[in-house]
A and B are shown apart, each in its own frame.
Chain A
């Protein structure tokens, strides 16, 4: 009953990893005067690279409703902020699925 579940353990380690990033720059990165361009370019690319791997399989392993929704959301993201795009995306997926394209 008081055992800690797998998910809770992952959360705890995820929190420790996150804390490491938040103190790490102060403890480690600030010791370097300059960051090599390749390292800095690689660091710069990390979030877009990781997040792309979560979108791409979802785009190709679902039906037309999901693909059309992602296209609409990508275009909307050029103009609107996150919450507006989420609302547009929700409207798109709800209506496309209701139309039987899911």
Chain B
């Protein structure tokens, strides 16, 4: 577990710079929208520090304070982060030389850009060392958690969030993420079916259920229209940042 400030660690820190810069607006936006949705600063910070995954944190704050049951919020966070299963399966063999505790820490920090950086380093023929890995992790993590606090602190001073459209930033954010998946197989039918099913459930059964019903409809459709043969997929990092 012992970290050394060696060349590997410094290389990791250099590799983290574009990610830190790219994720900064989202870290701040998260903090701002969190207080806008009624959260306390410490809760926004807790969320960034423990969940540490942008899109699912946005999903969480979107659902807090609604009639959506807590277990559905947890399930939604789980569903949005489900892709990490593929990352961890892919990264596992490449960090087999880590100790148990190092692996436990490494998997905690396995966000989209971290996975992309690790795959890239492996692709270039380097052995992934714990020092390099943590050199990437630590700046991104510190920045992400600090941005939640900063965004939440300054977000409190926005007196008319409606005029600034802050209440509508989350649907736009989710829409862009949906658009980012458009190269995936069966994207359009999945999105159309999930969208229609969720709207239908929203106006009939009511608010908590439109998420699970819409999502299940889209996922079942994807399973139905896929062929039955076994295949193995290569895993690519998703376009979102953290």
Closest A residue to B48 using CB positions: A11
What chain A residues lie within 8 Å of B64 (beta carbons)? 7, 10
Is B185 engaged at the interface, CB distance under 8 Å to the other chain?
Answer: yes
For the complex, give the distance between the alpha carbons of A65 and B140 in Å.
36
Interface string of B186-207 (1 = CB under 8 A from A): 1100110011111100100000
What chain B residues lie within 8 Å of A102 (beta carbons)? 162
What chain B residues lie within 8 Å of A37 (beta carbons)? 226-231
Is there contact, CB below 8 Å, between B84 and A44? Answer: no
Is there contact, CB below 8 Å, between A56 and B194? Answer: yes
Is there contact, CB below 8 Å, between B231 and A11? Answer: no
Is there contact, CB below 8 Å, between B165 and A56? Answer: no
What chain A residues lie within 8 Å of B46 (beta carbons)? 8, 11
Is there contact, CB below 8 Å, between B195 and A53? Answer: yes
Is B173 engaged at the interface, CB distance under 8 Å to the other chain?
Answer: yes
Interface size on A, residues (CB 8 A): 72
Of B83, B108, B171, the contact of A47 (CB 8 Å cutoff): B83
Shortest CB distance A92–B (Å): 8
Is there contact, CB below 8 Å, between A57 and B198? Answer: yes
Of B88, B178, B179, the contact of A22 (CB 8 Å cutoff): B88
For the complex, give the distance between the alpha carbons of A76 and B215 in Å.
25
For the complex, give the distance between the alpha carbons of A78 and B231 in Å.
30
Is there contact, CB below 8 Å, between A11 and B60? Answer: yes
Interface string of A18-37 (1 = CB under 8 A from B): 11111111101110011111
Is A99 engaged at the interface, CB distance under 8 Å to the other chain?
Answer: no
Of B29, B110, B181, B216, the contact of A48 (CB 8 Å cutoff): B181
Is A1 engaged at the interface, CB distance under 8 Å to the other chain?
Answer: no
What chain A residues lie within 8 Å of B218 (beta carbons)? 45, 48-49, 52
What chain A residues lie within 8 Å of B219 (beta carbons)? 42, 45-46, 49
Of B162, B211, B225, the contact of A54 (CB 8 Å cutoff): B211
For the complex, give the distance between the alpha carbons of A47 and B211 in Å.
12
Which residues between 64 and 91 of chain A lie within 8 Å of chain B, taking CB atoms? 66, 69-70, 73-74, 77-78, 82-83, 85-86, 89-90
Is there contact, CB below 8 Å, between A53 and B168? Answer: no
For the complex, give the distance between the alpha carbons of A94 and B179 in Å.
22
Is B91 engaged at the interface, CB distance under 8 Å to the other chain?
Answer: yes
Shortest CB distance A40–B (Å): 5
What chain B residues lie within 8 Å of A43 (beta carbons)? 82-83, 85-86
Is there contact, CB below 8 Å, between B43 and A7? Answer: yes
7 more contacts with CB within 8 A, not counting A51-B55, A69-B168, are A8-B43, A10-B70, A18-B56, A29-B89, A37-B230, A44-B185, A82-B173
Interface residues of chain A, those whose CB is within 8 Å of chain B, are 5-15, 17-26, 28-30, 33-62, 66, 69-70, 73-74, 77-78, 82-83, 85-86, 89-90, 93-94, 97-98, 102
Interface residues of chain B, those whose CB is within 8 Å of chain A, are 25-26, 29, 39, 43, 46-47, 50-53, 55-56, 59-60, 62, 64, 70, 73-93, 103-104, 107-108, 110, 162-165, 168-181, 184-187, 190-191, 194-199, 202, 210-211, 213-233, 238-241
